[in-house]
Amino acid sequence: MSNPDELVAQKSPGIFSFLGGSNLSKYEDASDLLTQAGNLYKLQRRSVDAGRAFEQAADCQLKAESPDEAANTLVEAFKSYKLESPEQASNCLEKAINMFVQRGQFRRSANFKTDLGELYENELHDIKKSIQSYEDASEWYKGDSATALANKCALKAADLYCDDSIKEYTKAATTYERVAQESLNNSLAKWSLKEYFLKAILCRLADGNDYSSANAVLQRFTQWDPSFQSTKEFEFSNKLIEAVKNGNSDEIALAAKNFDKFSRLDGMKVRILNTIKNNVVSAPDEIDEDFT
């Protein structure tokens, strides 16, 4: 049979009653029909119908006492839903992740929690849930000794703490500092240290223009990595701290403009610099135009 709608119409476990057998087998048969329908819907590019069929199949698998199979089917529902119905996709993946966690499959859970974080961030624009997803994934990766993946997720969460809807700069700074410290003896990650250092300084300054804390952190960074003092990032950080200390917004804009000529400032850094500058003067001009 090649019509998925007809397969779905036959999904009720009751239609198998003439065969006899247990309720479990009836739910297994129903889940098989729904899974077949889901795959056919995928072939026909009916993504939402596919997601719905897989979701119903997973429900039957749970009733058939097959939680592992149900979790995998919910992942298929997530994949089908995510392009056209991201909210339904997130609900299915949340359920699947909870099942994987209950089975102690933390590495797999972390992989899907990262996918969930990206869905919340890019499709549903729920920054708080995205942060929580990335932080959960980071902890689970860390528990599985996957340090690089744990730090990658932690850094994603830190970046989102800097979002204009959140602005929890201290939490972001703490994460950048921790990841930097853990990367000191990692030859692959060491090249990123100056980026982590700069982001941490920017966040310290953005948090009420705390130049004293930023300066203390800057000195700590030079102890961790003496080569940092020879970088443009160190020079930029030092100038920003001095400018904030002096309450001089023009110095902030000039330092940013000069650094941008060397290394293009991304949107996140520009927003943080605007926050720093706005805290220095009462009615500042936006500094974005200074970087063109």
Q: May I ask the CATH architecture of the domain 1-96?
A: Alpha Horseshoe (1.25)
**Alpha-carbon distances, residue 77 vs 28, 40, 120, 198 (angstroms):** 17, 13, 17, 41
Give mean pLDDT, residues 246-256.
95
Does 75 have pLDDT greater than 70? yes
pLDDT digits (tens, 9 = 90+) for 89-107: 999 999 999 999 999 999 9
Torsion-angle region of 145 (φ positive above 0: left; ψ -120 to 50: alpha; else: beta): left
Buried b or exposed e, range 68-85, using 16+ CB within 10 angstroms: ebbbbbbbbbbbbbbeeb
| Tens digits of residue pLDDT in 175-220 | 999 999 999 998 888 889 999 999 999 999 999 989 999 999 999 9
Residue range 170-292, CATH number: 1.25.40.10
Residue 6 is predicted with a pLDDT of: 63
The single residue listed with the structure tokens 């804009």 is 253
For the chain, the structural domain boundaries read: 1-96, 105-161, 170-292
> Contact, 287 vs 252, CB < 8 A?
yes
Can you read off the two tokens belonging to residue 102?
A: 């209950």
Q: What is the pLDDT of residues 48-57, one digit of tens each?
A: 999 999 999 9
- The two structure tokens encoding residue 87: 């909210």
**What's the DSSP call for residue 285?**
P
Three-state secondary-structure class, residue 105: coil
Mean pLDDT over the full length of the chain: 90
**Main-chain dihedrals φ then ψ at residue 65, nearest 5 degrees:** 60, 45
CA gap 275, 264 in Å, rounded: 18
pLDDT at 190: 84
- pLDDT for residue 18: 39
- On the 0-12 / 13-18 / 19+ scale of CB atoms within 10 A, 233 is buried
User: What pLDDT shows up at residue 280?
Assistant: 85
